[in-house]
Every structure is written in C-alpha cells, then in structure tokens.
C-alpha cells in the first residue's frame, strides 16, 4: 500500500491543528449564538410550562452517555494508532467491531427510553396530560440518542485521522439549520411535539453526512458486521475501561457538587452555586478546545515513537493552554464580585468567592490538560484513570466535610485541593517523565513564561480596579488586563520563541 492511499499524512501538522482548533471554536461560538437567540424565542412561543417539560424530558437522555463506557474515545485512539502503523485490516476491524457494539448499545438505549416514556407519570411530578406529551417527546428525542451511538463510529474515524474540522463544519451548519427549523415550525403555529420531531429529523439527517465524511476522509474504510472481531473488542476494552473511569471521575469532580449542596444546605444555595458554575464551565470550555484535538496527534506520535514531537507538544501545549486560561482566571480572581453584581445582581453576591476559588481550579486543570492528554494517549491511561478517580473521591469527601463550617466556599475548596495536588505533584511530573523531560526544564520553558505575567497583571488590576458596579466598566477593565497579559507574555517567551511564533503565524497565513 502506497503512502498516497493514506490521507491525513500532512507535512504541516501546525496547519492541521490550527484548522481543527479554529473550526472547533467557531462551533462553540455558533452554539452560544443559537442558544442565546432561540431560548427566549422558544419561551415566548411555547410558554414556560411547555418549554420546561421539553427540557425536563429531553434531559433524561443526557444520562445515557454513561453507557458509552469510554469506547467513543477508544475509537479515536485506535484509529489514530492503526493509521500511524498503516494497518488497513486492523483499522477496519476496529471500526466494524465498535460499530456493531455501538449499534447494540443504541438498541439498549431505546428500549430504556421506551420504558421511561410509558412511566413518566410515576417518575416525575407532572400531570397526566404533561406525561402524555412528555412520552412522545422522549420517544422522539430518544431515537436521536440511540442512533447517535451507532453513527459515532464515523465521527471517530474523522477524529482519528485528525480531521475534526470536517465534522465541525457540519456541526456548525446543523446548528443553524436546526435553529431555522425551530423558528419556522413555531412561526407556522405548530406546537411542541412537531417542533421536537422537526429538529430531531435534522439531527438524524446530519448523521448520514458524518458517515459520508468518514468515507471521504478514508476511502478504503470498510464498516461491516462481518469484520467484527472479539479479539479487537478485548483490545479496545483494555483502554476504554480506564477511559470510562476518567469520565466517571470527572463527574465526581464537577457534577456532584450541586447534589452535596442540596443535601446539606437545601435548594436556594444551589442557585448561587449555579451562577459560579456557569462562569467556570464557560471558562473551561473556551480555553480547553486545543487539547481535545491534540489527542490523535499524541497517539500518532507515540505509535511512531516520535519522542521529540511529544516533548514539543507537552512544552508548547502547556504554555499556550496556561496563556489562554491565565488572563481569564486573573480577571475572575480580582473582579468576581463586580462581575456577579453587574450580571445577576447583589442577591447572588455569595457566588463571588466561589468563583475566585474555582478560577484557580480551572486554571490548574486547563494548564495541565496537555499533560493529561499525553498520559491518556501514550500508554499511561491506567495511571491517569486511578489518579482521576482518587481525585474525585477526595473532592466528594472534602466538600462534604467543609460545607458545614465554610458553606459554598468550603465546597469550592473541596474541589480545588484535590485538583491542585494531583495536577502539581502527580500528573504533570508523570507527563514530564513520559516524554523524558525534567520537571525543572518543563517549569522553566512551559509554565514560568505564562505564570509570571499573570501574577503581574493580577497585582496591577488589584491596585487600579475601581468599585463601580457597571458591567460595561468591568468588561473594559477585563479587556485591558487581557491585552496587558498578552504583551507581557510575548515579552516573557523570549526572542527565539517570538521569532518561532511569528514564523508559525506566517506559515498559517501563506
């Protein structure tokens, strides 16, 4: 087999990374725009009761993601691995085996959906009429959740070939088409069930475009039930079981805090926590997109024994991740109180100290994300899984122990402390060891150039910050702090790296 038959072996990995990250951010922005525009429109045309019923019943399908069992990440890993080895038979057997598995899981999902749909009146506090409407909503939305399992194989093929961009473009177009269909259905006077059916139909049609993309990216792809191999399933499961442990540990770290607050403090403080969580979650999402698309590159580099590339990925990825999240974290640390007051009013001012503590946690997590991805993609997934699991359990225990004496801030501290310990003393040193770099060297070249400008900006912002509650003024201060950070960061990286970054920007532009 000639190299020409294997697409994606590009001479410009920087261009591939930029294309993937750039389209990913475009998708995030598109989702935000669609959400901001359609939510008030839907509320106005459906009413709060119908809209709430839609969100409540459709939200039940979100929890089916636990049935993924880490296999969606595994397909990206093994497609990238067998692509690197140019093993056509192995790649097609992996894809076919997981397609059969995902299809079976999709059937299980829909059977569960049917059972839930016909018992909503026993599960939720809703009227019989709402239960009847909710039944049809769940049956329709559940079909999308079930079909998504099987078709996720094709998305994994594109990701394994480092072509996130081709699916990102489809996702962006799909978001706007769904929004357009949403508006048209309601403007024509149809109700909730036709709306759910129409938007779901668009989503189902989009899956066939993802399938076409997979064959476009790799024309030699063969996904057939006859290529199912039990040995391949065992091979993939050896990775996916630890990937699923990482996912479950992340749920312990980031999705159980509200439950703890509800158990110990009641419902009202949950709303305060939700304000902080919304800001912190948005920060993490906006600053961590590049590390997702690095995963197949790391797998490819590991399979090809390209140690130098892995070292570069760790140093550059960590530095740029920190440089992305640090200025936002600094703004949240210094301006949390006026941001909360200007956004949601003084009634939610208790969210400010929570934001300040969690800002440090998200900075550590995003800054360490490249090291985490390296461990996951280069044979250290088992170690990473157990570290994440113990971090999650420690978070749960500490949050429960600190909530009584310290309230919501205690829960935030319970989240921060385990993340800080595992990031600083376990994961980052392990990633350095994996790529054969000293921790001291990595701190000097990856962390210090991004860290000291953050400290300088935080000190200056603390001194010059006024006490105005005007959100516009706070945004202006935040923008000025961000620009100052960028200037200091450019100064901090040194002349050689400035020239290197300039050359890379020029490479992308030409």
3-state SS, one letter per residue, for 419-435: HHHHHHHHHHHHHHHHC
Do the Cβ atoms of 210 and 174 come closer than 8 Å?
A: no
Residues 6+ apart with CB under 8 A from 495: none
Of residues 169 and 348, the one with the higher pLDDT is 169
pLDDT band at 43 (very low <50, low <70, confident <90, very high): confident
Residues 6+ apart with CB under 8 A from 433: none
Q: What percent of the chain has pLDDT over 90?
A: 42
pLDDT, residue 278, reads 77
pLDDT band at 2 (very low <50, low <70, confident <90, very high): very low
pTM: 0.76
pLDDT, residue 4, reads 45
Q: What percent of the chain has pLDDT over 70?
A: 93
* pLDDT, tens digit (0-9, with 9 covering 90-100), for 308-354: 889 988 998 899 999 999 999 999 999 999 888 887 778 788 889 99
* pLDDT, tens digit (0-9, with 9 covering 90-100), for 210-219: 999 999 999 9
Tokens linked to 263: 């158990």
**Residue 295 pLDDT > 70:** yes
- 3-state secondary structure labels for all residues of 263-284: HHHCCHHHHHHHHHHHHHHHHH
Of the given ranges (24-28, 203-207, 298-302, 368-372), which has the lowest mean pLDDT? 298-302
* Environment class of 103 (CB within 10 Å of its CB; exposed 0-12, middle 13-18, buried 19+): middle
* Environment class of 509 (CB within 10 Å of its CB; exposed 0-12, middle 13-18, buried 19+): exposed
* pLDDT, tens digit (0-9, with 9 covering 90-100), for 247-274: 777 766 666 777 787 778 876 787 788 7
* Environment class of 365 (CB within 10 Å of its CB; exposed 0-12, middle 13-18, buried 19+): buried
Classify the C-alpha dihedral 113-115-120-124 as positive or negative.
negative
Residue 177: strand, helix, or coil: helix
């Amino acid at each position: 087999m000639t190299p020409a038959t294997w697409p994606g072996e590009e001479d410009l990995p920087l261009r591939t990374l930029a294309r993937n990250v750039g389209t990913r951010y475009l998708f995030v922005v598109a989702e935000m725009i669609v959400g901001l525009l359609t939510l008030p429109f839907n509320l106005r045309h459906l009413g709060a009761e119908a809209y709430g019923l839609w969100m409540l019943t459709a939200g039940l399908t979100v929890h089916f993601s636990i049935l993924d069992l880490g296999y969606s990440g595994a397909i990206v890993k093994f497609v990238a691995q067998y692509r690197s080895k140019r093993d056509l038979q192995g790649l097609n057997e992996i894809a076919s085996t997981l397609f059969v598995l995902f299809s079976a899981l999709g059937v299980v999902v829909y059977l569960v959906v049917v059972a839930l749909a016909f018992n909503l009146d026993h599960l939720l506090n809703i009227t019989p009429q709402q239960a009847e409407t909710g039944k049809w909503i769940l049956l329709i939305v559940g079909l999308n959740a079930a079909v998504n399992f099987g078709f996720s194989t094709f998305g994994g093929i594109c990701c394994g070939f480092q072509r996130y961009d081709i699916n990102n473009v489809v996702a962006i177009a799909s978001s706007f088409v769904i929004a357009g269909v949403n508006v048209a259905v309601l403007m024509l006077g149809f109700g909730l069930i036709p709306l759910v059916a129409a938007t779901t139909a668009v989503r189902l049609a989009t899956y066939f475009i993802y399938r076409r993309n997979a064959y476009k990216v790799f024309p030699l792809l063969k996904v057939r039930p006859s290529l199912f191999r039990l040995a391949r399933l065992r091979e993939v499961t050896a990775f996916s079981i630890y990937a699923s442990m990482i996912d479950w540990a992340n749920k312990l770290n980031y999705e159980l805090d509200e439950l703890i607050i509800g158990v110990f403090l009641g419902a009202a403080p949950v709303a305060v926590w939700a304000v902080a969580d919304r800001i912190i979650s948005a920060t993490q999402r906006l600053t961590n997109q590049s590390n997702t698309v690095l995963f197949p590159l790391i797998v490819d580099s590991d399979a090809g024994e390209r140690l130098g590339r892995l070292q570069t990925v760790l140093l550059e990825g960590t530095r740029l991740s920190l440089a992305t999240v640090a200025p936002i974290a600094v703004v949240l640390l210094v301006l949390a109180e006026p941001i909360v007051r200007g956004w949601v009013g003084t009634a939610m001012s208790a969210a400010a100290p929570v934001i300040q503590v969690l800002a440090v946690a998200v900075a550590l997590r995003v800054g360490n994300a490249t090291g985490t991805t390296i461990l996951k993609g280069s044979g250290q997934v088992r170690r990473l899984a157990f570290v994440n699991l113990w971090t999650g359990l420690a978070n749960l225990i500490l949050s429960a122990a600190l909530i009584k004496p310290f309230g919501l801030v205690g829960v935030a501290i319970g989240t921060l402390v385990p993340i800080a310990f595992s990031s600083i003393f376990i994961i980052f040193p392990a990633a350095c060891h994996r790529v054969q770099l000293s921790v001291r060297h990595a701190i000097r070249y990856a962390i210090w150039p991004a860290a000291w400008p953050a400290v300088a900006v935080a000190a200056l912002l603390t001194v010059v910050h006024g006490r105005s509650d005007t959100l516009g003024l706070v945004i202006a201060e935040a923008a000025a702090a961000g620009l100052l950070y960028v200037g200091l960061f450019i100064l901090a990286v040194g002349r050689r790296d400035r020239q290197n970054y300039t050359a890379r920007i020029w490479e992308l532009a030409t």
